[in-house]
């Protein structure tokens, strides 16, 4: 779906590059989480996926279209939708449904078709009751769902969430995650989720870890979070249950290496107790 | 002397058809030097509540007294407000001066302190939050990184040497490194200044690590107040109210539901480790 | 601030609400011109009846409309008194030292007050029954022909939309920053004008910085959603004139004709 080939990127007037020789292949239909600290380059990477930023060296191709070709910009942005961190700063108009229509209007979709897409998109994020509301009266989580609907209305193939949950409360965060995983499962949309929360990453098919502008690890959540040493070296958090498992195993318990969530841990403990 | 909140009620749009109670029947005392956690989800009235603690909002009925100063009285409020440092959500958005040092000094200058002394106090406060005064003093606050900006804003409150430090989601939007740095700063502030901390946070794991007591707000009412173990020990009440609990508490609840005998009051990782090792028969092997 | 109804929208689904915003915008301009043409006490009845009829049809409560007059009450009194004493024409009705009230003065004072009241209630009715976004659309459509002459109709409408969208956000933000600075001992209430203006610096600087940051992020979000100016853009809501709009136009033609005729014969 998206090929990132040896991408290096340096912001103007920056001393050091924000991305260093990053290569990553994003598969069609997968759920990829990208984790790392602020300044690790993860947001910079996200902005390369829809040609908001262009690589200094290397190339990004979306279904074969090089982001450097200007004529590809609009088709790429239609295929790859991005939801940003601050819910307030991505809603353009004063009525929810008008805002969802903004994207399709920009790419010249006929009016009746826009109406259909807007209704479907609002339904997909569970915000259909709010179609005629003013966005500034909504909660942060609701605003982010509107932003996602605005992307869905463009019928994208990839949805990139650039720390879209960072400013939300736990309920807002859960809502966004469930909406996104539903879109992933039911519509087969490819999801790239940039996040600081390791617990969010445990739900992904694959996890990519960024540090200092480099991709330091990439694999299934089990593979990545097994590398606790490496993660700690880069001062990244390990999911709480993975840490607990490590401590228990260090003391002689024989729990499986694949524990990531509370459910995993409870299962493993019960199984282990039955054995004894 | 403590902060005493009695029978606090706060209504927005009093007298109109849109009137609604944001807070009702709140009785709560913040003791000297304690770490009180305040949890509840968005719209539960947390932000409205903390703004009463330093008199930015006035009760519709009931009273708030800070070390005996009644916050409803205009003169006493000025005195009381000096004791309560209030750090709002995303406090870095209040930075405005040309240099970090002058921004930090703003609060004490407003209290009438002379320029020279105020700048010295600013240096001190910067050191307390882990910003080296020599390095940061003359920088523009807008050149700092996200985490540094937040610490500079925190210094702008610390400089007033509050006896009570109220923090409204101090870690919101920061990455794990930034979160740890802020939490460590809060710890060291308590140690050096001995101030009480009232912290609003959604991050239950951070809360579990530090809070001595926890108060839970839901729909404008205080539904629980107790020690951290008491409140998280009753994980089900919190979950039923749509709140998160620390992962360790969730594990304890889940294990108990499956008939595994772990104490419900466990909320911290070390205790859970010991309890599980005992269960698995590995208790002795832990040094 | 709460009293200002001009520019506020009163939600509803009346025949007035449903009129094409272009009709309402053009109607308002015509109405303003008409109110200035009227120059006879009896003829004022026509726009007055018009405003009353539109109010009734729109379902906007009269109290709401009266509220829109509240902010100009001092202006009204001031204009009335000014005209009463300053205009000197016709018979003298009353005199005391240098204060003189003439027939022309009374007439002018009454007319100017009526005009102000009619103007404000008429324009308020328009904004009360039309969403700001619909007005923006109407403006864009009406100014579209000027686009060929290089007039940035689409850009203007976009700017208005974004401004409308962010005004409540920025007001909320200003309130937050003020509270944060008050917690640092700021005092916005005492002192003279200069001191108060100076005390606003710690609010305005962060507010501007935040507005620029928001603008930057919004621009990026808009680009991500394929925004590339007005070329090739379609709209979900297409403005179409209906029968009701023709009817409204007819009402305006009749009203204009009526006022001009009455003006000619009544004088």
Q: Which residue of A has its CA nearest to B251?
A: A262
Q: B85 - beta bridge partners?
A: B165
Cβ neighbours of residue A174 closer than 8 Å, sequence gap 6 or more: none
Residues of B in contact with A172 (CB under 8 A): 42
Q: Would A38 be classed as within a structural domain?
A: yes
The answer to whether the CB atoms of B96 and C180 lie below 8 A apart is no
Q: Which residue of B has its CA nearest to A267?
A: B255
The answer to whether the CB atoms of A265 and B251 lie below 8 A apart is yes
Q: Would A243 be classed as within a structural domain?
A: no
Summarised one tens digit per residue, pLDDT across range B24-33 is: 999 999 999 9
Per-residue confidence (pLDDT) for residue C7, from 0 to 100: 57
Q: How far is B247 from chain A (nearest CA, A)?
A: 7
| Nearest by Cα to C69 from C31, C118, C17 | C118
Is B96 a residue whose pLDDT tops 80? yes
Range of the domain at A187: 2-220
Percent of chain B with pLDDT over 70: 96
The answer to whether the CB atoms of A251 and B277 lie below 8 A apart is yes
The answer to whether the CB atoms of A110 and C131 lie below 8 A apart is no
When pLDDT is averaged across residues B142-167 and rounded to a whole number, the result is 92
- For the ranges A113-117, A182-186, B11-15, C133-137, which has the lowest average pLDDT? B11-15
The answer to whether the CB atoms of B142 and C202 lie below 8 A apart is no
Q: How far is B157 from chain C (nearest CA, A)?
A: 7
Q: Would B150 be classed as within a structural domain?
A: no
Q: Would A145 be classed as within a structural domain?
A: yes
Is B138 a residue whose pLDDT tops 90? yes
Cβ–Cβ < 8 Å for A10, A56? yes
Is B257 a residue whose pLDDT tops 70? yes
Per-residue confidence (pLDDT) for residue C3, from 0 to 100: 45
The answer to whether the CB atoms of A110 and C234 lie below 8 A apart is yes
When pLDDT is averaged across residues B156-174 and rounded to a whole number, the result is 92
Tell me if chain B has a CB within 8 Å of the CB of C186.
Answer: yes
Rg (CA), chain A: 20
How far is C260 from A74, CA to CA, in rounded Å? 55
Distance between terminal CA atoms of chain A?
A: 48
Task: Give the residue, B188 or B242, on which the prediction is more confident.
Answer: B188
The answer to whether the CB atoms of B202 and A170 lie below 8 A apart is yes
Q: Tell me the residues of chain A between 45 and 74 that have a Cβ less than 8 Å away from chain B.
A: none
Per-residue confidence (pLDDT) for residue B30, from 0 to 100: 95
When pLDDT is averaged across residues A54-77 and rounded to a whole number, the result is 93
Tell me if chain B has a CB within 8 Å of the CB of C181.
Answer: yes
Residue from A71, A93, A104, A137 to probe the interface with C (highest C Cβ count within 10 Å) = A93
Q: What is the mean pLDDT of chain A?
A: 91
Tell me if chain B has a CB within 8 Å of the CB of C161.
Answer: no
Q: Which residue of A has its CA nearest to B283?
A: A251
Name the band, by pLDDT with cuts 50, 70 and 90, for residue B17: low
C-alpha neighbours within 13 Å on the C-beta side of residue C238: 10
The answer to whether the CB atoms of C172 and A93 lie below 8 A apart is no
Name the band, by pLDDT with cuts 50, 70 and 90, for residue B285: very low
When pLDDT is averaged across residues A42-59 and rounded to a whole number, the result is 94
Tell me if chain A has a CB within 8 Å of the CB of C13.
Answer: no
Q: Tell me the residues of chain B between 73 and 132 that have a Cβ less than 8 Å away from chain C.
A: 81-82, 85-86, 88, 91, 93-96, 106-108, 110-111
Name the band, by pLDDT with cuts 50, 70 and 90, for residue B234: confident
The answer to whether the CB atoms of A136 and C225 lie below 8 A apart is no
Total count of domains within chain A: 1
Q: How far is B274 from chain C (nearest CA, A)?
A: 44
Cβ–Cβ < 8 Å for A43, A163? yes
When pLDDT is averaged across residues B208-223 and rounded to a whole number, the result is 91
The answer to whether the CB atoms of A269 and B172 lie below 8 A apart is no
pLDDT averaged per 10 residues, chain C (length 267): 56 88 92 89 89 91 82 88 85 82 88 91 89 86 86 89 89 92 86 83 93 94 91 86 90 90 77
Is B86 a residue whose pLDDT tops 90? yes
Most confident listed range (A216-220, B201-205, C164-168): A216-220
Tell me if chain C has a CB within 8 Å of the CB of A78.
Answer: yes
Q: Fill in the DSSP letter of residue A260.
A: -
When pLDDT is averaged across residues A125-149 and rounded to a whole number, the result is 91
The answer to whether the CB atoms of A273 and B280 lie below 8 A apart is yes
Percent of chain A with pLDDT over 90: 67
Per-residue confidence (pLDDT) for residue A61, from 0 to 100: 95
Residues of A in contact with B243 (CB under 8 A): 170
The answer to whether the CB atoms of C177 and B93 lie below 8 A apart is yes
Is B102 a residue whose pLDDT tops 90? yes
Residues of A in contact with C227 (CB under 8 A): 102, 106
The answer to whether the CB atoms of C218 and A89 lie below 8 A apart is yes
Cβ–Cβ < 8 Å for A136, A89? no
When pLDDT is averaged across residues A174-191 and rounded to a whole number, the result is 92
CATH of the domain at A58: 3.40.50.300
Q: How far is B159 from chain A (nearest CA, A)?
A: 28
Per-residue confidence (pLDDT) for residue C57, from 0 to 100: 92
Tell me if chain C has a CB within 8 Å of the CB of B141.
Answer: no
Strand, helix or coil for residue A97: helix
Residue C169 has its nearest CB partner, among A88, A110, A115, at A88
Residue B94 has its nearest CB partner, among C185, C201, C206, at C206
Q: Would A191 be classed as within a structural domain?
A: yes
Tell me if chain A has a CB within 8 Å of the CB of B78.
Answer: no
Strand, helix or coil for residue A12: coil
When pLDDT is averaged across residues A167-184 and rounded to a whole number, the result is 90
Residue from A248, A250, A263, A274 to probe the interface with B (highest B Cβ count within 10 Å) = A248
* Distances in whole angstroms, Cα of residue C97 to Cα of each of B171, C94, C101, C149, C214: 74, 10, 11, 60, 62
Tell me if chain B has a CB within 8 Å of the CB of A274.
Answer: no
Strand, helix or coil for residue B15: coil
- For every residue of C189-235, DSSP letters joined together read SSS-HHHHHHHTHHHHHHHHHHHHHHHHHHHHHHHHTT--SSTT---
Is B278 a residue whose pLDDT tops 60? yes
Tell me if chain C has a CB within 8 Å of the CB of A154.
Answer: yes
Angle CA B94–B98–B104, to nearest 5: 55
Q: Would A267 be classed as within a structural domain?
A: no
Taken in order C62, C63, C68, C71, the sign of the CA dihedral is positive
Tell me if chain B has a CB within 8 Å of the CB of A113.
Answer: no
Residues of C in contact with A136 (CB under 8 A): 165, 168-169, 172
Per-residue confidence (pLDDT) for residue A234, from 0 to 100: 87
Per-residue confidence (pLDDT) for residue B168, from 0 to 100: 93
Sequence ranges of the domains in chain C: 15-130+240-266, 152-224
Chain C partners (3+ C-beta pairs within 8 A): A, B
Residue B176 has its nearest CB partner, among A237, A241, A276, at A237
Helical (H) or strand (E) element with C168 = helix C153-183
Per-residue confidence (pLDDT) for residue C29, from 0 to 100: 92
Q: Would B283 be classed as within a structural domain?
A: yes
| Nearest by Cα to B9 from B224, B226, B223, B221 | B221
Tell me if chain C has a CB within 8 Å of the CB of A116.
Answer: no
Range of the domain at B279: 246-287
Tell me if chain B has a CB within 8 Å of the CB of C54.
Answer: no
Q: Would B52 be classed as within a structural domain?
A: no
Strand, helix or coil for residue C22: helix
Tell me if chain C has a CB within 8 Å of the CB of B45.
Answer: no
The structure's pTM equals 0.85
Is B287 a residue whose pLDDT tops 70? no
Is B76 a residue whose pLDDT tops 50? yes
Q: How far is A194 from chain B (nearest CA, A)?
A: 12
Per-residue confidence (pLDDT) for residue C25, from 0 to 100: 92
Residue A108 has its nearest CB partner, among C224, C227, C234, at C234
Strand, helix or coil for residue C11: coil
Chain B partners (3+ C-beta pairs within 8 A): A, C
- For every residue of B74-131, DSSP letters joined together read HHHHHHHHHHEEEE-SSGGGG--SSSHHHHHHHHHHHTT--HHHHHHHHHHHHHHTT-
């Amino acid at each position: 779906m998206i090929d990132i080939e040896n991408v290096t990127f340096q912001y103007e007037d920056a001393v050091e590059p924000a991305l260093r020789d990053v290569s990553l292949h994003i598969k069609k239909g997968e759920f990829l989480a990208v984790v790392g600290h602020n300044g690790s380059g993860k947001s910079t990477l996200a902005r390369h996926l829809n040609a908001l930023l262009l690589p200094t060296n290397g190339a990004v191709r979306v279904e074969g279209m090089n982001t450097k070709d200007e004529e590809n910009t609009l088709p790429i942005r239609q295929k790859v939708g991005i939801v940003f961190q601050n819910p307030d700063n991505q809603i353009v108009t004063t009525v929810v449904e008008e805002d969802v229509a903004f994207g399709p209007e920009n790419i010249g979709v006929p009016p009746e078709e826009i109406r259909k897409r807007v209704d479907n998109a609002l339904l997909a994020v569970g915000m259909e009751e709010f179609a005629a509301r003013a966005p500034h009266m909504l909660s942060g989580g609701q605003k982010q769902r509107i932003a996602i609907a605005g992307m869905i209305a463009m019928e994208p193939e990839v949805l990139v969430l650039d720390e879209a949950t960072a400013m939300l409360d736990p309920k807002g965060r859960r809502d966004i995650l469930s909406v996104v995983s539903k879109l992933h499962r039911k519509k087969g949309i490819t999801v790239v989720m940039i996040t600081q929360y390791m617990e969010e990453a445990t739900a992904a098919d694959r996890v990519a870890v960024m540090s200092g502008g480099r991709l330091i690890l990439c694999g299934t959540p089990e593979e990545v979070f097994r590398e606790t040493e490496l993660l700690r070296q880069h001062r990244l958090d390990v999911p709480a249950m993975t840490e607990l498992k490590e401590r228990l195993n260090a003391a002689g318990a024989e729990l499986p290496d694949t524990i990531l969530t509370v459910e995993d841990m409870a299962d493993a403990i019960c199984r282990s107790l039955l054995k004894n | 002397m403590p902060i005493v909140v009695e029978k606090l009620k706060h209504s927005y749009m009093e007298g109109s058809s849109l009137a609604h109670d944001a807070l009702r029947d709140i009785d709560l005392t913040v003791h000297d030097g304690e770490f009180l956690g305040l949890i509840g989800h968005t719209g539960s009235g947390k932000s409205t509540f903390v703004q009463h603690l330093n008199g930015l909002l006035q009760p519709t009925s009931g009273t708030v007294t800070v070390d005996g100063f009644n916050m409803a009285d205009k003169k006493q409020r000025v005195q009381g407000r000096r004791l309560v440092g209030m750090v709002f959500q995303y406090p870095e958005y209040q930075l405005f001066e040309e240099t970090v040092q002058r921004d930090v000094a703003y609060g004490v200058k407003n209290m009438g302190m002379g320029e020279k002394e105020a700048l010295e106090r600013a240096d001190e406060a910067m050191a307390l939050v882990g910003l080296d005064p020599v390095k940061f003093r003359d920088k523009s606050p807008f050149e700092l990184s996200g985490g540094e900006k937040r610490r500079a804003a925190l210094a702008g409150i610390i400089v007033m040497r509050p006896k009570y430090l109220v923090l409204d989601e101090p870690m919101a939007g920061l990455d794990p490194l930034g979160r740890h740095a802020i939490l460590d700063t809060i710890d060291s502030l308590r140690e050096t200044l001995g101030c009480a901390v009232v912290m609003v946070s959604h991050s239950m794991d951070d809360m579990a690590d530090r809070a001595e007591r926890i108060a839970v707000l839901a729909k404008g009412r205080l539904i629980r107040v107790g020690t951290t173990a008491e409140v998280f020990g009753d994980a089900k009440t919190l979950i039923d109210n749509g709140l998160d609990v620390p992962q360790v508490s969730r594990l304890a609840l889940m294990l108990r539901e499956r008939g595994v005998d772990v104490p419900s009051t466990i909320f911290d990782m070390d205790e859970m480790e010991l309890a599980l090792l005992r269960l698995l028969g590995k208790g002795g092997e832990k040094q | 601030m709460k009293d200002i109804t001009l520019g506020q929208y009163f939600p509803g689904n009346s025949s007035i609400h449903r009129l094409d915003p272009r009709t309402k915008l053009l109607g308002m301009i015509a109405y303003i011109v008409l109110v200035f043409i009227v120059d006879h006490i009896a003829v004022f009845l026509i726009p007055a009846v018009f405003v009353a009829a539109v109010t009734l049809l729109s379902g906007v409560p009269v109290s709401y409309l009266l509220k829109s007059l509240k902010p100009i009450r001092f202006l009204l009194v001031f204009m009335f008194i000014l005209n009463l004493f300053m205009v000197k024409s016709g018979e003298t009705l009353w005199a005391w030292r240098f204060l003189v009230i003439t027939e022309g003065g009374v007439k002018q004072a009454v007319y100017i007050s009526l005009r102000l009241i009619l103007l404000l209630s008429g324009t308020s009715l328009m904004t009360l029954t039309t969403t700001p976004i619909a007005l923006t659309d109407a403006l864009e459509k009406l100014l579209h022909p000027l686009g060929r002459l290089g007039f940035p109709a689409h850009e203007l409408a976009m700017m208005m939309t974004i401004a409308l969208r962010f005004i409540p956000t920025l007001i909320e933000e200003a309130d937050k920053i003020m509270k944060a600075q008050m917690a640092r001992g700021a005092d916005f209430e005492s002192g003279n004008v200069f001191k108060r203006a100076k005390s606003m610096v710690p609010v305005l600087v962060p507010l501007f910085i935040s507005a620029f940051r928001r603008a930057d992020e919004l621009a990026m979000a808009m680009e991500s959603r394929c925004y590339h100016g007005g070329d090739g853009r379609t709209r979900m809501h297409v403005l179409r004139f209906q029968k009701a709009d023709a009817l409204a136009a007819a009402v305006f033609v009749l009203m204009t004709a009526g006022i001009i005729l009455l003006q000619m014969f009544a004088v």
